[in-house]
A and B are shown apart, each in its own frame.
Chain A
């Protein structure tokens, strides 16, 4: 095992270890479980949760108002029939991708460094999908009929219209949410059992006990667990590619200039990974600081994530260049106008912002120094988060607002309700995340223990 290609790769790159020195099985378990079980609730958690929960209430308020009056409270109109709702949907779905990539693909590739970040990255995936899932529902004119999107036998003998990418979306996103949840929960089982065993009071014991589903840590459990994880990873791997591919079909199947493009699937997937890693960094950096987890989420992790971001960013940049090139090369007057309009039209500033955020800024990641600086990594990740949101804005809005007939061109201006809903889903995400870090092990204990074993073996070998 020690000589697997992945490890070799890791060896060449050992500027920093993936686990801090001096840890044994007990110290790992103590350290991670103490966050939930023995520490008092930290003040910053209370404050952060309060703010997040307030934002969640803002979402509730905005959605209630929306359901009462209709989607007219947003800035959407004709020609821009999709606005913040779809932008946010794509943004959140994209963010989710990093979690699946880390937990599934990197698991299959035996990237050891993933173990200490995969748990919260997966949680991030789930919560991001939850946020994303809100939007297709509430953006409908008649959300109370959303169940018509699902294939179910009904008296009207009507099925969804399977040629529509929106119908595919339903399957793609719901499959993704299901697999991600299962994967995450299966991964949690041994750690939940650890919590059960270490819990001091009865209620906690019962709750974690039920959640642990009778895990006893027998060899056969471990063997089955390993198999289940691999199978789920195998299932989740194609999803990393398929979900955002299907989401990109929402656009590329349309005939709108700026949407109708074959480059969209790979470009969207790369964008999703890009955005996802940015979000993982955004979450990991404060977490390791606040919980003192520098030994588990080491500079090695941050460095690697920086590299993935750079690579994904370059693919996305290639996508932008190709879009612009095709605008010119296609010779299609509508495509050409769309490209120029993106760059120099009324929303031109947003396009250039996006270029700065998504192409220029990540170039700093070429420098080892930058990747070694927690502060700059965090800053770049935040910039990429914003940039990826802007990218979706550019795709959705600037394509629609000036399409074929100049007579129906228009401008889209988000309203306060657009913002409230968007910020509200950030509240939903953070609320869920705060609850997660308070009540569940945010780093996979059993997998880090495996790391301890591997490190020990390595030492022996030396």
Chain B
């Protein structure tokens, strides 16, 4: 069939069943293909539904915006063979071109991506109705224009060829109608018992309209139960609030007001709700202007090294199970009547806690203590008490009502679900999202229990581990394909808009619940809109309000107001039990693939983990000292034995890790993730017990003697005494503000006069004081520039293709080093060593100072890369770009060529963006305004560490940045005159601790 994609994963048709259908009377008399005979959903889409869902529904009122979108989508589908099944017919070009849709000009739509239910507002770039790139939404409080790596990569998730594309019934292709029949039969049966046997299992839900639908369902089936479950959930945070205040609350930080911050095992700068905003506020408080040397101070106490810890002025490594005793000791120091732990925190320098307490007290009201999501509830409660004592409430921290629609102890509920199934109480199980068969604690036995349920349905993006155990699998619509809504970290609602009609036959949760509620015919758009229309009774002109909400990506006035909380007395007064002894194990979400949901996302798999720089694998991390004691080295395979379960894992010796403690990341070892994620890494979840899902003790390690090959992007972590990252303390900076600058001549002796750049001269400034090393820019660049994914083997031998990378250097003590991040992209040298040596002039200098790469001219001698002192050039050693998978064609940025084999490539400061803006400016007969061109990396950066602009304009932000004292060029002694310069990093240590440590 012409419309069938070459590699499109097409479900098999069951020949035997077909033969029977054909011989029976109910077959169509003439069938065009086996698909028609089998009556597959694909075929029905092909035969009946040549327009995307909703467009051919004459009853639905279509507004202008939607009409445009549908028209654009239909037009784009003409070029999108393989993304969906298309009718074979001639395409007629526009007779009258729709407004706004101009080929070659992208449109941006505001929507949101969610993680753990929490929304981050984004703008999605759409080329001819193909979403190609996610950008942060500047109007959204949780984004402020930036985004994280997960959001950036979600567009690849949309086009993932491994997404499920058909309803599956007991391992065979089923159909939607068949499913509807079976579902209504099952529900009818339950009706009698008022739904006592019905269980709804969802992820964390912050969507008010979805929750309303669920409540409607629960009204019909009052005995049914709704469980929420996230494998990486925030139960401890919620329970901590309940201990402290007697109710669930949502905690919001105002990092921009905090002068002193203490984190207790928290990575609040790069993960968790609001982290993007917090990173920005944090970085702004660290930006030092000439003449004004003031910045905030961060103390981090943690076991597993995190990005937040790497930004700390003082980092104290402490076993995760001793954080509580640290919190207690600090609370006591601050004068709270809290019981001390029977065992004090070990290895804490004597001056640390008193000095810290003094510093916090001095900054009462302008300090902030943050506890990590994985810390037990009591630590959160203690931290609330500490923050209150320090007078931080309503200043650097405030509370609102929970953003979750139904805040519960999810962990308790998943246990209850397992118990219910075991007791035979569950007859109908409806699973929306999540992947409990993979990520629920293994000792709950859900894998064995799920098949026992009489009627189980799974709505999921992938036909994964859970789908395999359910009777029905229904393909889910991606969040870029469906309507919806969700709340941000502060409660702000964003309406999720579809950017494209479902590529496959996906259904959204809203549609699914509509079906459960026995209502059909309403589009998901109507469901969400009507819900809000009913809510917003105060608004008279709802159409306008709705339009504005969609356009802005933020629903005005939905952020929760601060709420008064009252601290319960006696928090922490009861002395805790001594923490269990023995080797500690810490479970954490993976920094790039989270709980495993992104396992099939090649961008996120290939994104090096921020601190280990490992890609495509998970490891058991332990400190150098512990590794030495156990006789282990990186890449050794060990057997982890915990509470009777064992698993094989590779060792990674991690400088800065707490001693006698092992960290493992969840999310790997998937068995049914797809072509990218299946079989990658080991499943730490297998040894994760229900009782202690985050921190436990008594881990046993056995060396197997085998090796486990790991792909680390960076194998050498010291700077070898080279001044690559220039660092000083704030004190040193005050004494010598120009410490970062060397007295190299401006233009050393040369035979040639310096080149004059008339007009624009593009340049970039990178603020090392702001970069947290989160990696969002790496994925953003990958999405913007069509950068290929190469796989573990190629990464291991140094052939990754990232145009921007984040170098991570350690400095000092092996056990407890200082960690520095340094983003490296093409420096666009004015005296570029690469240009000189290319024999075919494939890399040339532009009049604006860009070092340009002409892919079509490149013959691939690789001399340019050899001669690049920054090693930012990337070579296509094989045909790395996927030229085969049709579903990925839609993903590509049409303004950037997809490189072929044998060609060198590299960063060009997003030259396509520069030119787009320049063209626009020329049309309007003006010059490009400062800040008008934003490179992809800069756009995504939560902490504003990257700044791009015209350095010929002395008033541009980048010129001002470069004029600062902290500015320096990397390897300036080579006289390459890089256009990318760095702002040196500053530390703001507490003199009391620093001096004591020096003694």
B779-835 CB contacts (< 8 Å) to partner A: 794, 797-799, 805, 807-809, 822, 824, 833
Shortest distance in angstroms between B823's beta carbon and chain A's nearest beta carbon? 11
B799 near A406 with CB under 8 A, answer no
Segment touching B, from A67-75, A180-188, A425-433: A67-75
Q: Can you name the residue of chain B whose Cβ is closest to the Cβ of A402?
A: B716
Contact of A170 with B901 at beta-carbon distance under 8 Å, contacts A333-B721, A405-B824 already known: no
Cβ-based interface call for B838 (8 A): yes
Cβ-based interface call for A407 (8 A): yes
Contacts of A81 in B (CB 8 A): 862-863, 865-866, 875
Cβ-based interface call for B536 (8 A): no
- Interface digits, A139-153 against B, CB 8 Å rule (1 contact, 0 not)? 111110110110000
Cβ-based interface call for B926 (8 A): no
Contacts of A405 in B (CB 8 A): 724, 807, 824, 869-871, 970-971
B336-354 CB contacts (< 8 Å) to partner A: none
A309-358 CB contacts (< 8 Å) to partner B: 333-334, 337
Cβ-based interface call for A82 (8 A): yes
A390-404 CB contacts (< 8 Å) to partner B: 400, 402-404
Contact of A70 with B869 at beta-carbon distance under 8 Å, contacts A81-B862, A141-B901, A158-B840 already known: no
B799 near A164 with CB under 8 A, answer no
Contacts of A82 in B (CB 8 A): 862-863, 866
CB < 8 Å neighbour of A142 from B716, B721, B833, B901: B901
Cβ-based interface call for A12 (8 A): no
Cβ-based interface call for A77 (8 A): yes
B693-735 CB contacts (< 8 Å) to partner A: 714-722, 724
A149 near B859 with CB under 8 A, answer yes
Interface centre among A82, A165, A410 (most CB of B within 10 A): A410
A160 near B870 with CB under 8 A, answer no
Contact of A78 with B874 at beta-carbon distance under 8 Å, contacts A142-B860, A256-B866 already known: yes
CB < 8 Å neighbour of B902 from A142, A161, A402, A413: A142
Cβ-based interface call for B988 (8 A): no
CB < 8 Å neighbour of B798 from A79, A165, A337: A79
Cβ-based interface call for B858 (8 A): yes
Contact of A78 with B721 at beta-carbon distance under 8 Å, contacts A141-B875, A161-B840 already known: no
Shortest distance in angstroms between A89's beta carbon and chain B's nearest beta carbon? 12
- Interface digits, A120-154 against B, CB 8 Å rule (1 contact, 0 not)? 00000000000000000001111101101100000
A149 near B840 with CB under 8 A, answer yes
Contacts of A408 in B (CB 8 A): 714, 798, 807, 870-871
Cβ-based interface call for B974 (8 A): yes
A409 to B865, CA, bound (A): 13
Cβ-based interface call for B133 (8 A): no
Contacts of A77 in B (CB 8 A): 797-799, 877
Q: Can you name the residue of chain A whose Cβ is closest to the Cβ of B800?
A: A78
Contacts of B902 in A (CB 8 A): 70-71, 140-143
A404 near B860 with CB under 8 A, answer no
CB < 8 Å neighbour of B859 from A70, A78, A140: A140
A139 near B871 with CB under 8 A, answer no
Interface size range on B against A: 35 or more
Contacts of A170 in B (CB 8 A): 839
Cβ-based interface call for A255 (8 A): yes
CB < 8 Å neighbour of B719 from A139, A159, A402, A406: A406
B715 near A166 with CB under 8 A, answer no
Contact of A255 with B901 at beta-carbon distance under 8 Å, contacts A140-B861, A409-B715 already known: no
A141 near B904 with CB under 8 A, answer yes
Cβ-based interface call for A215 (8 A): no
Cβ-based interface call for A434 (8 A): no
A71 near B860 with CB under 8 A, answer yes
A140 near B860 with CB under 8 A, answer yes
Cβ-based interface call for B883 (8 A): no
Contacts of A160 in B (CB 8 A): 839-841
CB < 8 Å neighbour of B799 from A72, A140, A148: A72
Shortest distance in angstroms between A441's beta carbon and chain B's nearest beta carbon? 39
Shortest distance in angstroms between B748's beta carbon and chain A's nearest beta carbon? 14
Contacts of A72 in B (CB 8 A): 794, 799, 877-878
A43 to B198, CA, bound (A): 88
A78 near B863 with CB under 8 A, answer no
A404 near B840 with CB under 8 A, answer no
B716 near A70 with CB under 8 A, answer no
Shortest distance in angstroms between B220's beta carbon and chain A's nearest beta carbon? 60
A79 to B720, CA, bound (A): 17
Interface centre among B822, B841, B878, B879 (most CB of A within 10 A): B841
A140 to B869, CA, bound (A): 21
B857 near A158 with CB under 8 A, answer yes
A145 near B877 with CB under 8 A, answer no
Interface centre among B805, B867, B971, B974 (most CB of A within 10 A): B867
Shortest distance in angstroms between A112's beta carbon and chain B's nearest beta carbon? 43
Shortest distance in angstroms between B414's beta carbon and chain A's nearest beta carbon? 42
Contacts of B18 in A (CB 8 A): none
A158 to B722, CA, bound (A): 41
Contacts of B862 in A (CB 8 A): 76, 81-82, 141
B871 near A148 with CB under 8 A, answer no
Shortest distance in angstroms between B916's beta carbon and chain A's nearest beta carbon? 26
A409 to B870, CA, bound (A): 11
A69 near B798 with CB under 8 A, answer no
Cβ-based interface call for A232 (8 A): no
Interface centre among B718, B794, B866 (most CB of A within 10 A): B866
Q: Can you name the residue of chain B whose Cβ is closest to the Cβ of A167?
A: B839
A71 to B860, CA, bound (A): 9
A161 near B866 with CB under 8 A, answer no
A166 to B836, CA, bound (A): 10
Cβ-based interface call for B903 (8 A): yes
A296 to B106, CA, bound (A): 80
Cβ-based interface call for A20 (8 A): no
A406 to B840, CA, bound (A): 30
Cβ-based interface call for B873 (8 A): yes
A38-79 CB contacts (< 8 Å) to partner B: 69-72, 75-79
Cβ-based interface call for A292 (8 A): no
Q: Can you name the residue of chain B whose Cβ is closest to the Cβ of A332?
A: B973
Cβ-based interface call for A458 (8 A): no
Contacts of A250 in B (CB 8 A): 863
Cβ-based interface call for A253 (8 A): yes
Cβ-based interface call for B567 (8 A): no
Contacts of B724 in A (CB 8 A): 405-407
B858 near A142 with CB under 8 A, answer yes
Shortest distance in angstroms between B660's beta carbon and chain A's nearest beta carbon? 30
Contacts of B860 in A (CB 8 A): 71, 140-142
Cβ-based interface call for B837 (8 A): yes
Q: Can you name the residue of chain B whose Cβ is closest to the Cβ of A72?
A: B877
Contacts of A148 in B (CB 8 A): 840, 857, 859
A450 to B97, CA, bound (A): 90
Q: Can you name the residue of chain A whose Cβ is closest to the Cβ of B865?
A: A81
Cβ-based interface call for B876 (8 A): yes
Cβ-based interface call for A254 (8 A): yes
Interface centre among B718, B808, B869 (most CB of A within 10 A): B869
CB < 8 Å neighbour of A255 from B822, B865, B867, B877: B867
Contacts of A78 in B (CB 8 A): 798-799, 865, 871, 873-875
Contact of A70 with B798 at beta-carbon distance under 8 Å, contacts A142-B902, A403-B871 already known: no
Q: Can you name the residue of chain A whose Cβ is closest to the Cβ of B794?
A: A72
Cβ-based interface call for A202 (8 A): no
Q: Can you name the residue of chain A whose Cβ is closest to the Cβ of B876?
A: A141
Shortest distance in angstroms between B612's beta carbon and chain A's nearest beta carbon? 14
List 6 contacting pairs A-B, 8 Å CB cutoff, sorted by A.
Answer: A76-B862, A78-B871, A164-B839, A407-B808, A408-B798, A413-B797
Instruction: Taking A148-B840, A405-B824, A407-B724 as given, write out 4 further A-B residue pairs in contact, using a Cβ cutoff of 8 Å, ordered by the A residue number.
Output: A70-B879, A81-B865, A163-B836, A337-B720
Q: Spell out B's residues near A (CB within 8 Å).
A: 714-722, 724, 794, 797-799, 805, 807-809, 822, 824, 833, 836-841, 857-863, 865-867, 869-871, 873-879, 901-904, 970-971, 974
Q: Spell out A's residues near B (CB within 8 Å).
A: 69-72, 75-82, 139-143, 145-146, 148-149, 158-161, 163-167, 170, 250, 253-256, 333-334, 337, 400, 402-411, 413
